[in-house]
């Protein structure tokens, strides 16, 4: 077994043993979709789509951001606190390979989460209508995980403890969810919030998800979202690699 594969398997097993990770990765997003569908399902949709078709990409995108950023931040801090970082640094792997191994676990978790959200959408109580291009959703899920996992790693490099990074992630993601249109449509938000949304990575992740998942946006919006998400994700991962410290 190669060092990359061995590390990836080890990290995956660690995640599967963590009840909090399992809950927020695989239980909370589908449950949130059900709750929102039941409470908002009677409201009118937009542009000929049911309201639940607007909600489901937002739930998926916010779930990817939440899980990715938490995983990135907590992983870095735990490596530093437990002395694992020093062990990894002496392994026959480059820094980018070590971080890519951790990223691979996060991507796998995000893809499983996305599948669970899609399957939940088939429930009669939810009733999501998938677009013919729904399989392409794997691309923005991967890129979104890259963005937020890398951003989480940068947070973990700055803050000293798991408690501190957890609080920081919540402070960053919850307002971002409102401002990016994950909670309310951008069209009804104040002008200053619509302007701010143009600078938030979650805005572009949601744009990249809406068209392939349920067809509630234009393909051009998805392409722009994919492009921005991909560039930002690559830049943040590069920065995390360069700034990585092990103690």
From the centroid of its chain, how far is CA 212? 17
Backbone angles phi, psi at 49, to 5 degrees: -110, 145
Please report the pLDDT score of residue 176 as a whole number. Answer: 93
Please report the pLDDT score of residue 46 as a whole number. Answer: 66
Please report the pLDDT score of residue 15 as a whole number. Answer: 80
Please report the pLDDT score of residue 182 as a whole number. Answer: 81
User: Would you say the pTM of this structure is higher than 0.85?
Assistant: yes
**Taking the domains of the chain in order of start, what are their residue ranges?**
19-243
Please state, as a whole number, how many other Cβ atoms lie within 10 Å of the Cβ of residue 42.
7
Angle formed by the axes of helices 51-82 and 201-214, nearest 10°: 130
Please state, as a whole number, how many other Cβ atoms lie within 10 Å of the Cβ of residue 195.
11
Cβ(41)–Cβ(52) below 8 Å: yes
Residues of the chain with pLDDT under 50: none
What is the rounded CA–CA span in Å between residue 185 and residue 200? 15
CA distances in angstroms from 247 to 5, 17, 85, 87, listed in the order given: 24, 25, 7, 11
pLDDT in tens, 170-196: 999 999 988 998 877 777 778 888 899
What is the rounded CA–CA span in Å between residue 144 and residue 110? 9
């Amino acid at each position: 077994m190669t060092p990359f594969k061995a590390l990836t398997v080890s990290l995956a097993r660690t995640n599967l043993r963590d009840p909090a990770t399992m809950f927020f990765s695989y239980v909370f997003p589908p449950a949130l979709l059900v709750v929102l569908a039941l409470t908002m399902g009677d409201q009118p949709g937009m542009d000929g789509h049911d309201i639940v078709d607007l909600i489901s990409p937002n739930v998926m995108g916010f779930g990817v951001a939440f899980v990715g950023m938490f995983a990135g931040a907590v992983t870095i801090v735990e490596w530093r606190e437990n002395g694992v970082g020093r062990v990894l640094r002496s392994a026959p792997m480059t820094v980018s390979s070590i971080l890519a191994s951790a990223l691979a676990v996060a991507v796998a978790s995000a893809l499983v989460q996305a599948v669970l959200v899609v399957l939940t959408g088939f429930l009669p109580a939810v009733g999501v209508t998938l677009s013919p291009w729904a399989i392409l959703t794997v691309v923005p899920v991967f890129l979104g995980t890259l963005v937020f996992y890398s951003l989480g790693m940068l947070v973990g490099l700055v803050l000293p403890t798991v408690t501190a990074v957890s609080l920081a992630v919540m402070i960053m993601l919850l307002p971002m969810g409102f401002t990016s249109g994950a909670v309310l449509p951008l069209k009804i938000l104040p002008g200053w919030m619509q302007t701010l949304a143009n600078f938030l990575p979650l805005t572009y992740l949601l744009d990249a998800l809406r068209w392939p998942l349920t067809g509630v946006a234009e393909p051009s919006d998805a392409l722009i979202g994919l492009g921005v998400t991909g560039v930002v994700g690559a830049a943040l991962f590069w920065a995390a690699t360069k700034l990585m410290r092990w103690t």
